[in-house]
């Protein structure tokens, strides 16, 4: 869900989120808790003491079911899959597009084809590949698994980056919660490289801030940990979104392998089942990979391998080590604990990169 605050005349509603989930709201009638199902659909509302006050269920494509006893949910317009519902016009706001639950399709076509390798996604009106009972679509651009531990979501990386970088405007958490797979990112790499730049400290700090907040309270949400990352290029910071779930299949599960991504990220590490380490539950990095401007064709390889190419020495230090001096984990934890402010990290990153002659504040 999104949205923290809404004002209609003198009526104010505030929403509260934990780890990206909207869990409560407050309006004139006091604090209320919102309970969701596996898709994030709001199915029940309780008052501050936990007493059920209203509930509803949905048909698979999102229409509100009419066969339940008791009052429907009226205090909030967050509904099916956690999107805002304007029931009077039978449309749901999926952020980039509007969705018609009666029709089971979007009313306007996607501006992108999110995954050209999947013929289903060529149908640009389709909602979540016609699998509404186990997928949802946080942004109107992609589809992601809610229960299953696999993210099918192929994000509209270019669109999101465009959002992130549109002049001076705010980065929305919704935009960042979409994840992306490496292949897609790599495919769009060249466009991103030259057309989308984050040039100011605030933008960078925002991304780091959000990445830090994403992980709070999360002990097993591998799927939901989407690192918002900054990559060092020639004098610019570049945003990428990284799907950390991809790490799970790698030989080095405690490395945040990805697209040659950089910045702050965290990886959940299962101390029992993960091989090759597993000495801590969370692994945090804040690092910047340099030189992928010349290595873009290598995107998608393992991090170790990638490091080797970055530094031109297969047995040398990784860029992570070079930049941070092994402080990445500490930094990540400090961010998480709130002892380090994201904007300070952003400044530190610029300073560090500048000292290596890699990046210059603009």
Partner 1 sequence: MKFSNRAILLPDIWIDSVVGEYRAGLGNIIRVFYPRFWKQSIHIVKCLPAPTSTSITQTPQPPAAGWVGTNYTYTPSHPHAVTALSGGAVASYQYDANGNTLAPGASVGVTCRVEMGLTYKQTYNPENRLSTVQKLASGDCATPLTYSASWSFSYDGNGTRVEQLYTTYDANGTEQSGVITSYFTLFRVLWAELMK
198: helix, coil or strand? Answer: strand
Q: Rounded to whole angstroms, how far apart are CA atoms 11 and 289?
A: 48
Q: Rounded to whole angstroms, how far apart are CA atoms 53 and 44?
A: 8
CB of 128 to partner 1, least distance (A): 11
Q: Rounded to whole angstroms, how far apart are CA atoms 156 and 141?
A: 6
- Looking at the Cβ atoms of 125 and 348, the one nearer to partner 1 is 125
In angstroms, how far is the first alpha carbon of the chain from the final one? 34
Q: How many CA atoms lie within 13 A of 350 on its CB side?
A: 21
Q: Rounded to whole angstroms, how far apart are CA atoms 70 and 50?
A: 16
Please state, in angstroms and as integers, the Cα–Cα distance from residue 35 to each residue in 48, 58, 174, 212, following that order. 13, 14, 19, 24
- Looking at the Cβ atoms of 88 and 326, the one nearer to partner 1 is 88
Give the pair of three-digit tokens for residue 137.
Answer: 């679509």
CB of 306 to partner 1, least distance (A): 30
CB of 27 to partner 1, least distance (A): 12
CB of 60 to partner 1, least distance (A): 4
- Looking at the Cβ atoms of 21 and 361, the one nearer to partner 1 is 21
Q: What angle do CA 16, 20, 24 make, to 5 degrees?
A: 25
CB of 238 to partner 1, least distance (A): 18
Instruction: Identify the DSSP state of 19.
Output: T
- Looking at the Cβ atoms of 17 and 296, the one nearer to partner 1 is 17
- Looking at the Cβ atoms of 167 and 312, the one nearer to partner 1 is 167
CB of 76 to partner 1, least distance (A): 12
CB of 75 to partner 1, least distance (A): 14
- Looking at the Cβ atoms of 176 and 259, the one nearer to partner 1 is 176
- Looking at the Cβ atoms of 109 and 277, the one nearer to partner 1 is 109
Burial group, residue 139, by CB count within 10 angstroms (0-12, 13-18, 19+): buried
């Amino acid at each position: 869900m999104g949205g923290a605050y809404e004002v209609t005349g003198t009526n104010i509603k505030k929403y509260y989120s934990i780890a990206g989930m909207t869990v409560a709201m407050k309006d004139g009638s006091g604090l209320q808790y919102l309970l969701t199902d596996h898709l994030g659909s709001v199915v029940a509302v309780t008052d501050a003491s936990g007493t059920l006050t209203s509930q509803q269920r949905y048909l698979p494509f999102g229409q509100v079911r009419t066969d339940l006893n008791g009052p429907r949910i009226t205090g909030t317009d967050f509904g099916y899959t956690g999107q805002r519902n304007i029931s009077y016009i039978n449309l749901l706001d999926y952020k980039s597009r509007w969705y018609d639950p009666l029709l089971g399709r979007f009313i306007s076509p996607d501006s992108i084809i999110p995954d050209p390798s999947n013929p289903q996604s060529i149908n640009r009106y389709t909602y979540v590949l016609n699998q509404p009972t186990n997928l949802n679509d946080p942004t109107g651009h992609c589809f992601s698994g809610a229960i299953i531990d696999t993210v099918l979501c192929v994000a509209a990386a270019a669109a999101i980056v465009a959002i992130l970088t549109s002049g001076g405007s705010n980065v929305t958490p919704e935009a960042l919660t979409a994840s992306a797979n490496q292949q897609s990112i790599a495919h769009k790499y060249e466009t991103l490289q030259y057309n989308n730049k984050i040039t100011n400290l605030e933008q960078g700090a925002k991304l780091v801030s959000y990445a830090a907040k994403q992980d709070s309270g999360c002990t097993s949400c591998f799927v939901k940990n989407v690192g918002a990352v900054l990559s060092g290029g020639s004098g610019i910071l570049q945003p990428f979104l990284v799907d950390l779930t991809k790490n799970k299949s790698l030989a080095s599960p405690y490395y945040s392998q990805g697209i040659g991504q950089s910045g702050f990220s965290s990886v959940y590490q299962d101390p029992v089942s993960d091989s090759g380490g597993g000495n801590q539950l969370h692994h945090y990095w804040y690092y910047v990979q340099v030189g992928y401007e010349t290595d873009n064709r290598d995107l998608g390889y393992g991090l170790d391998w990638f490091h080797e190419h970055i530094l031109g020495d297969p047995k040398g230090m990784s860029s992570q080590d070079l930049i941070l001096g092994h402080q990445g984990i500490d930094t990540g934890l400090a961010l998480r604990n709130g002892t380090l402010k994201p904007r300070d990290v952003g400044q530190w990153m610029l300073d560090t990169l500048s000292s290596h002659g890699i990046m210059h504040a603009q």
